[in-house]
A and B are shown apart, each in its own frame.
Chain A
Amino acid sequence: MERKIRVLVAKPGLDGHDRGAKVVASALRDAGMEVVYTGLHQTPEMIVEAAIQEDVDVVGLSILSGAHMVLFPKIMKLLKEQGAGDKLVVGGGIIPEDDIQELNKAGVTKVFTPGTTTTEIVEYIKTEMASRA
């Protein structure tokens, strides 16, 4: 049986802008992936617990509040502590270039900024997953 790519799409923090996350979630579904969408206002603990229970391959984090430098590293730390450090973690939102480099170092492999097409995101995940298989 074909192995489905499972993705968690979550919005950590307090901003209420979930349009982007929903667009990405729909695009990934349309690309044949199984997308677990958890919605707004997720704490890092909630996201990590969902990632473990759902055994997703990819964790996609959308944030527009500016709190990414706090929340993303916290999520990475918790994932590692819980033995789930092998998951591909990607981010999206209004995130400055300098921060992206820091986040990359923390293990957020890719950060998609405004203007990214959904096709790019789909392709990135598919390529990464294929190389890990």
Chain B
Amino acid sequence: MAIPREELLKRFAGGQRAALSKIITLVENHATSFPDVLDELYPRTGKAYRIGVTGPPGAGKSTLVSSLVQTIRTKEKTVGVIAVDPSSPFTGGALLGDRIRMQDIGTDPGVFVRSMATRGSLGGLAEAAGDVADVMDAFGKDVVITETVGVGQCELDIAEACYTTVVVIVPESGDAVQAMKAGLMEIADILVINKSDREGAEQIARQTRAMFELRDERNGWDPPVILTVAFKGDGIPELYEHIEKHRQFLAESGLLERHRQSNVEATIKAIVEGDLHSKTWNEATLGRLESLVGDVMVGKVTPRQASGVILKMIEGRQEGG
């Protein structure tokens, strides 16, 4: 029961949530009509403020997002939430459970929550999540929050593509050295110690604050460390205040513009690379690959020499038009 493209876009413009949902699906599935749908919506993007929330599994990110959304809603702003969970690399399936912690915002008409599986795409996830954020932005959401598990480069890329990146850890996340090790800390604009009613919260807060002091100031922004108990809502208004402060800081320092610029650059690059990737492997190159694997196995050529052969094939194809 596919709705014609024009009709779908009309409904989208009319603010129909079901149309928003269908367009997200198109974008997520890289459906054949997806590039021009995105092109059509692109001029309407750029208004939503983008917040990334990331952290280790079990840190309470979904609960925190739910609580944060409720605070944002008291400011009369509409919110889109993208909750990213991993796909199984073995079956391709995924269990998307973030909504369990978002019951309080589930039926608020000013909130739209979409769960997204990582689908193990080759770095394409950041692009796909960015596209979905664009769609929510074009729909008119004032704020778009993207939640990812802070493991793996991809997830970090997504969080970093947002204007304000909130990193959530818990008192059990270990000592400060442990926290420094993870690349996670470097991307934090705001650090949240959630479940701070547990033992060790003050201690890890102190340690991370000291750690941030040691670090070079990131373009003049000193990341605050905030203690929260997300399920009770403790510390959430304070978190929102700091997000606002960071937004102001970015706007006044011109960094927001620079951030947008680098996002545009990353997007163009990702599209080019994605297209190149899909153009690289066709029947001819795959056939050649197979014979080259044989050649390498018997010691005729090295893997590097073999790749040279394939690269030449591709270059030849491009010159040949």
Tell me, yes or no, whether B296 is within 8 Å of chain A by CB. no
Tell me, yes or no, whether A53 is within 8 Å of chain B by CB. yes
Given A37-B99, A50-B113, A52-B21, 15 more contacts at CB 8 Å?
A1-B29, A1-B30, A29-B88, A29-B94, A30-B93, A34-B117, A35-B94, A36-B96, A37-B95, A38-B103, A52-B17, A53-B114, A54-B96, A55-B21, A84-B18
The listed residue (B88, B94, B100) touching A39 by CB distance below 8 A is: B100
The listed residue (B96, B103, B112, B119) touching A37 by CB distance below 8 A is: B96
Give the nearest-CB partner of A41 in chain B: B103
Bitwise, A1-39 to B at CB < 8 A (1) or not (0) is 111100000000000000000000110111111111111
**In the bound complex, what is the Cα–Cα distance between A45 and B106 (angstroms)?**
9
Could you say which residues of chain B place their CB within 8 Å of the CB of A2?
92
Could you say which residues of chain A place their CB within 8 Å of the CB of B30?
1
**In the bound complex, what is the Cα–Cα distance between A38 and B96 (angstroms)?**
9
Tell me, yes or no, whether A115 is within 8 Å of chain B by CB. no
Bitwise, B52-91 to A at CB < 8 A (1) or not (0) is 0000000000000000000000000000000000011001
Q: Are A4 and B119 in contact (CB under 8 A)?
A: yes
The listed residue (B88, B93, B99) touching A50 by CB distance below 8 A is: B99
Q: Are B93 and A32 in contact (CB under 8 A)?
A: yes
Give the nearest-CB partner of A33 in chain B: B93
Residues of B whose CB lies within 8 Å of any CB of A are 1, 17-18, 21-22, 24-25, 29-30, 87-88, 91-97, 99-100, 103, 106-107, 112-115, 117, 119
Tell me, yes or no, whether A46 is within 8 Å of chain B by CB. yes
**In the bound complex, what is the Cα–Cα distance between A36 and B85 (angstroms)?**
10
Q: Are B99 and A36 in contact (CB under 8 A)?
A: yes
Q: List 24 A-B contacts (CB under 8 A).
A: A26-B95, A29-B91, A30-B93, A33-B93, A34-B94, A35-B96, A36-B115, A37-B96, A38-B99, A38-B106, A39-B100, A39-B103, A43-B107, A45-B107, A46-B103, A46-B106, A46-B107, A50-B99, A52-B17, A53-B112, A53-B113, A54-B115, A84-B18, A86-B1
Closest A-B pairs by Cβ, 8 of them: A29-B93, A39-B100, A55-B21, A55-B25, A32-B93, A32-B92, A36-B96, A29-B95
**In the bound complex, what is the Cα–Cα distance between A43 and B151 (angstroms)?**
34
Most interface-central of A34, A37, A84 (chain B CB within 10 A): A34
Give the nearest-CB partner of B81 in chain A: A53
Tell me, yes or no, whether A109 is within 8 Å of chain B by CB. no
**In the bound complex, what is the Cα–Cα distance between A2 and B21 (angstroms)?**
19
- The distance from the CB of A19 to the nearest CB of chain B, in whole angstroms, is 15
Contact A34/B29 with A4-B119, A55-B22 known, Cβ cut-off 8 Å = no
Q: Are A34 and B96 in contact (CB under 8 A)?
A: yes
- The distance from the CB of A102 to the nearest CB of chain B, in whole angstroms, is 25
Give the nearest-CB partner of A25 in chain B: B95
- The distance from the CB of B115 to the nearest CB of chain A, in whole angstroms, is 5
**In the bound complex, what is the Cα–Cα distance between A105 and B257 (angstroms)?**
57
The A38-61 residues at the B interface (CB cut-off 8 A) are 38-39, 43, 45-46, 49-50, 52-55
